[in-house]
Amino acid sequence: MTYSIETAADFDNKLDATSHIVETVGEHIIAQAELDAHIEALSSDIAPEIEIDSLEDCDFGILYRVWHTSKLIGTFYRRTIDGKWVAMPLKSDNRPHCNTAAEAQLLIVAMAGLLVADTGDEEFDIEELLDKPFDQLTPTEWEYLKQHAPSEEFLAA
């Protein structure tokens, strides 16, 4: 049998390493919780709940139905001829052709009046927004930053 005698310094080194690991794990848990809270806050600003189901149709193949709560707001399908998606919003004679299913869904939701355009009433100081930490920006502030090109003074710098 071999025995080793641990000195007080060895014990202190192991204790420091263990406490560093615990501190790192704690920081990770806190950061994850902050990220989860940020994602939850962003998701609460998202448009109304939309549900999509499908059924087999003898004319259209698979017909996708778009629902808002329990109200049907439109349907869409994929044309076999060219692969385009055809959106058919209710209460509209328009049948726009789209490149993706997501575009067709968005058109139906928009034509149902469920997307609200930014009225531009809210003004932001671009310099303040650029100095603000990204995780503290609201969805509206993010949109403002994305939509507003930098001024010539920023480009010159």
The 3 state secondary structure assigned to 3-23 is CCCCCHHHHHHHHHHHHHHHH
Handedness of CA 96, 63, 103, 136 (dihedral sign): positive
Q: What is the pTM of this model?
A: 0.46
pLDDT at 141: 73
pLDDT at 74: 94
* 57 beta partners: 61
What tens digit of pLDDT does each residue of 52-94 get?
999 998 888 899 999 998 899 999 999 989 999 999 999 888 8
pLDDT at 3: 60
The backbone torsions φ and ψ at residue 63, rounded to the nearest 5 degrees and listed phi first, read -105, 120
pLDDT at 84: 93
Domain range annotation of the chain: 10-47, 50-111, 116-151
Neighbour tally for 13: CB within 10 Å: 12
Q: How far apart are CA 77 and CA 131, in angstroms?
A: 45
Alpha helices in 44-91, H assignment, sequence order: none
Q: How far apart are CA 136 and CA 128, in angstroms?
A: 12
Alpha helices in 44-151, H assignment, sequence order: 101-111, 126-131, 139-147
Q: How far apart are CA 20 and CA 76, in angstroms?
A: 56
Give which of 121, 96, 118, 119 is closest to 106, Cα–Cα. Answer: 96
